């Protein structure tokens, strides 16, 4: 169907206050607007598919039952209707729904399809974002040179409060031989021997 968070409320049922007739019928009036908990009326905005909602017209009559999607509405006034969402009828022979016909909001296959499309789209977006992050992050590290390393050092905050433990702490070292930045575990630096040497030299 579509990647959209289609609106739905519980236990909404009303009637058409004006007819919805034939293939050209794309507007109508509801006797009562759909509302969440009987309090907050929902409306649809054409430019925002997440606000659209489905209705079943004449739900208890199999020969003229029709699922429609409301694309634009304000209160009880509906100005843009997507007809025959299920594709039950030929475009030239859509049912004629007269004033007083029941309309009902129900959980439909179309709701599930919309949500599945939304989840699939978001998973694809997340996968792309992770891939981009991994690629860009590696590129950023590989692009570190002596000049940018100097800038990083100059802009770094004071680290005297850091408790260094060789097992878990790392530093970033620019390897001039391979012109790449490398992550180095502090235990690889043999800090104990370095400190001993400094002391031996009277540092």
pLDDT at res. 63: 92
Structure tokens at 42: 């929902």
Residues ≥6 apart with Cβ < 8 Å to 3? 114, 117, 118, 120, 121
pLDDT in tens, 15-33: 999 998 877 778 999 999 9
pLDDT at res. 95: 92
Maximum distance among all Cα pairs of the chain, rounded to whole angstroms: 100
Instruction: Report the C-alpha gap between 67 and 19 in whole angstroms.
Output: 15
- Nearest 10 degrees: Cα torsion 88, 94, 98, 102: 10
Give the global pTM: 0.59
Residues ≥6 apart with Cβ < 8 Å to 120? 3
pLDDT in tens, 167-191: 677 777 777 888 777 788 877 766 5
pLDDT at res. 190: 64
CA pseudo-torsion sign 177, 181, 185, 191: positive
Structure tokens at 24: 């050209």
Q: Which residues of the chain have pLDDT under 50?
A: 193-203
Phi, psi of 69 (to 5 degrees): -120, 130
Q: Which residues of 104-127 are buried (b: 16+ CB within 10 A; e: fewer)?
A: ebeebebbeebeeebeeeeeeeee
């Amino acid at each position: 169907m579509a990647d959209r968070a289609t609106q739905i409320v519980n236990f909404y049922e009303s009637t058409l206050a004006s007819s919805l007739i034939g293939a050209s019928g794309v507007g109508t009036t509801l006797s009562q607007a759909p509302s969440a908990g009987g309090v907050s009326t929902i409306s649809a905005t054409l430019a925002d598919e997440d606000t659209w909602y489905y209705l079943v017209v004449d739900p208890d009559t199999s020969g003229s039952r029709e699922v429609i999607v409301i694309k634009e509405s304000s209160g009880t006034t509906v100005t843009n209707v997507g007809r025959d969402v299920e594709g039950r009828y030929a475009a030239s022979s859509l049912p004629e729904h007269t004033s007083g016909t029941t309309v009902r909001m129900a959980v439909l296959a179309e709701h599930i399809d919309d949500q599945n499309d939304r989840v699939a789209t978001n998973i694809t977006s997340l996968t792309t974002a992770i891939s981009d992050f991994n690629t860009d992050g590696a590129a950023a590290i590989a692009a570190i040179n002596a000049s940018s390393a100097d800038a990083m050092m100059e802009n770094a905050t004071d680290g005297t409060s850091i408790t260094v433990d060789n097992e878990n702490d790392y530093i970033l070292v620019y390897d001039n031989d391979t012109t790449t930045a490398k992550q180095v575990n502090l235990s690889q630096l043999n800090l104990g021997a370095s400190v001993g040497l400094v002391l031996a030299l009277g540092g």
